[in-house]
């Protein structure tokens, strides 16, 4: 039987390094149960420096306070790699507009030349766009990406242990060229939007998401047909299981549905979401779980509106083409004839 939750659990990652075998075992069981039942939790003991967190939120606020023309100078539609700024209403979830403005910053990579026709997802590799008006922005965000990636890898190793696997079981598909994405997001109040959809109900596609929230609530997680609010708690990140882990565990770990509700009129919500994924040219393995865990595996979710592929790059390209049709049309029109990538809308 699954546990019923009225709020997200708070888990202390420092317990994993406890000198007490009993304490460590208790933590492993707690995170295993939470990831099976809910797929979401708050984490403390994460080791990310508070000053870096404060600096990241400060440059995020400074970016959104820039004049519109300065933000539009790094508009995403100018990037074939889906990097840069989007005004509110420019990203879609399952075909519906998300009412948020944001800047997307991925892994800083060189553009790949001579991309094979059978691996078009390598088009996602490339440089980011950076606002010249905020000199501290690039340096701060790159430092934060590194810290968030290190935390994500700690969590991936922990999830591997909860599945009865060697902690480095996934290392071969995320090292040395993991494909990650950072979204810095501002959700305006209801008086400045056309709906309550900050971002529509969805699952995350990578290994794990590390979410930093400022002060305004809005995130909600589905559980037993209801929505659990996940308000900001100082000193924590919200962590959720992504579809890579769900597929690898044959549904033992839950990549759960969540959404963001538009803030009240006159308010706004700031968050920084870090999505850690495997290498674009890798494939999600299917783990052989211990008998007692395999007996509880539910199989990976099958959604006819959003088919999942075990090929990381294929899933990533599909998601970006569907979410950003303006970028897709300008830079990847040759791919839009394929229903495999573009229909139905995610």
pLDDT tier at 2 (50, 70, 90 boundaries)?
low
* 269 inside domain: yes
- Quick check: 340 pLDDT over 90? no
**The pLDDT of residue 302:** 77
Nearest to 162 by CA among 37, 332, 42: 37
Q: What mean pLDDT do residues 147-154 have?
A: 98
Instruction: Give the residues across from 208 on adjacent strands.
Output: 241, 276
- Quick check: 343 pLDDT over 80? no
Nearest to 79 by CA among 7, 131, 150, 129: 129
- Residue 110's H or E segment, with its range, is none
| Neighbour count for residue 55 (Cβ, 10 Å) | 17
* Structure token pair of residue 87: 């005004």
**The pLDDT of residue 192:** 85
Distance CA 334, CA 34 (A): 43
Q: What mean pLDDT do residues 217-233 have?
A: 97
The mean predicted confidence, pLDDT, of the chain is 94
Non-local (6+) Cβ contacts of 214 within 8 A are 57, 232, 269, 270, 271
22 and 10 Cβ atoms separated by less than 8 Å: no
C-alpha 336, offset from chain centre: 24
pLDDT, tens digit, 9 for 90 and up, residues 78-105: 999 999 999 988 888 877 889 999 999 9
What is the chain's percent helix, strand, coil content, to nearest 5? 35, 20, 45
Q: What mean pLDDT do residues 277-297 have?
A: 97
Q: What mean pLDDT do residues 215-228 have?
A: 97
How far apart, in Å, are the Cα atoms of 311 and each of 29, 208, 294, 295, 307? Answer: 30, 17, 23, 26, 12
pLDDT, tens digit, 9 for 90 and up, residues 309-329: 999 999 999 999 999 999 999
pTM exceeds cut of 0.85? yes
CATH code of 280's domain: 2.60.120.330
* 278 inside domain: yes
DSSP-derived pairing of the beta strands 10-12 and 96-98? unpaired
What's the structural domain count of the chain? 1
* 193 inside domain: yes
SS3 for 212?
A: strand
**The pLDDT of residue 342:** 62
325 and 92 Cβ atoms separated by less than 8 Å: yes
* 1 inside domain: no
* 150 inside domain: yes
| Neighbour count for residue 178 (Cβ, 10 Å) | 20
Angle in degrees, 0-180, between the axes of helices 21-37 and 135-162, rounded to the nearest 10 = 100
* 2 inside domain: no
* 147 inside domain: yes
Q: What mean pLDDT do residues 277-288 have?
A: 97
How far apart, in Å, are the Cα atoms of 315 and each of 2, 197, 246, 329? Answer: 29, 24, 14, 18
**The pLDDT of residue 93:** 86
* 79 inside domain: yes
pLDDT, tens digit, 9 for 90 and up, residues 248-281: 999 999 999 999 999 999 999 999 999 999 999 9
For 338, phi then psi, to 5°, come to -90, 115
Distance CA 292, CA 69 (A): 57
Domain that holds residue 111: 10-342
**The pLDDT of residue 195:** 86
CA dihedral 65, 69, 74, 79 (to 10 degrees): 140
Distance CA 202, CA 96 (A): 12
Distance CA 269, CA 192 (A): 13
**The pLDDT of residue 346:** 38
pLDDT tier at 345 (50, 70, 90 boundaries)?
very low
């Amino acid at each position: 039987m699954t546990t019923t939750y009225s709020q997200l659990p708070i888990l202390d990652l420092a317990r994993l390094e406890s000198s007490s075998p009993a304490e460590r075992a208790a933590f492993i069981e707690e995170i295993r149960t939470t990831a099976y039942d809910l797929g979401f939790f708050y984490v403390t003991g994460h080791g990310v420096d508070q000053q870096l967190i404060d600096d990241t939120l400060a440059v995020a606020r400074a970016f959104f306070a820039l004049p519109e023309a300065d933000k539009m100078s790094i508009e995403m539609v100018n990037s074939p790699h889906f990097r840069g700024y989007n005004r509110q209403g420019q990203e879609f979830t399952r075909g519906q507009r998300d009412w948020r403005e944001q800047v997307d910053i991925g892994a800083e990579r060189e553009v790949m030349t001579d991309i094979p026709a059978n691996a078009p997802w390598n088009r996602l590799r490339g440089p980011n766009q950076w606002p010249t008006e905020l000199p501290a922005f690039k340096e701060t965000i790159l430092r934060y990406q590194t810290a968030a990636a290190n935390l994500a890898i700690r969590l991936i190793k922990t999830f591997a242990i909860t599945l009865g696997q060697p902690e480095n079981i996934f290392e071969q598909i995320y090292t040395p060229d993991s494909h990650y994405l950072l979204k810095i997001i501002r959700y305006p109040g209801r008086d400045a939007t056309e709906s309550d959809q900050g971002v529509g109900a969805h699952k995350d596609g990578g290994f794990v998401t590390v979410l930093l929230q400022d002060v305004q609530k809005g995130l909600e997680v589905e559980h037993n047909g209801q929505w659990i609010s996940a308000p900001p708690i100082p000193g924590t990140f919200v962590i959720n299981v992504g579809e890579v882990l769900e597929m690898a565990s044959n549904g033992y770990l839950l990549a759960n549905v969540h959404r963001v509700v538009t803030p009240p009129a006159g308010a706004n919500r700031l968050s920084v979401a870090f999505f850690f994924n495997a290498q674009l040219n890798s494939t999600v393995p299917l783990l052989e779980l211990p008998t007692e865990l395999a007996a509880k595996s539910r199989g990976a979710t099958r959604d006819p509106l959003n088919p999942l592929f075990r090929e990381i790059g294929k899933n990533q390209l599909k998601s970006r083409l569907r979410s950003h049709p303006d970028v897709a049309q300008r830079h990847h029109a040759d791919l839009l004839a394929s229903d495999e990538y573009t229909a139905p809308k995610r």
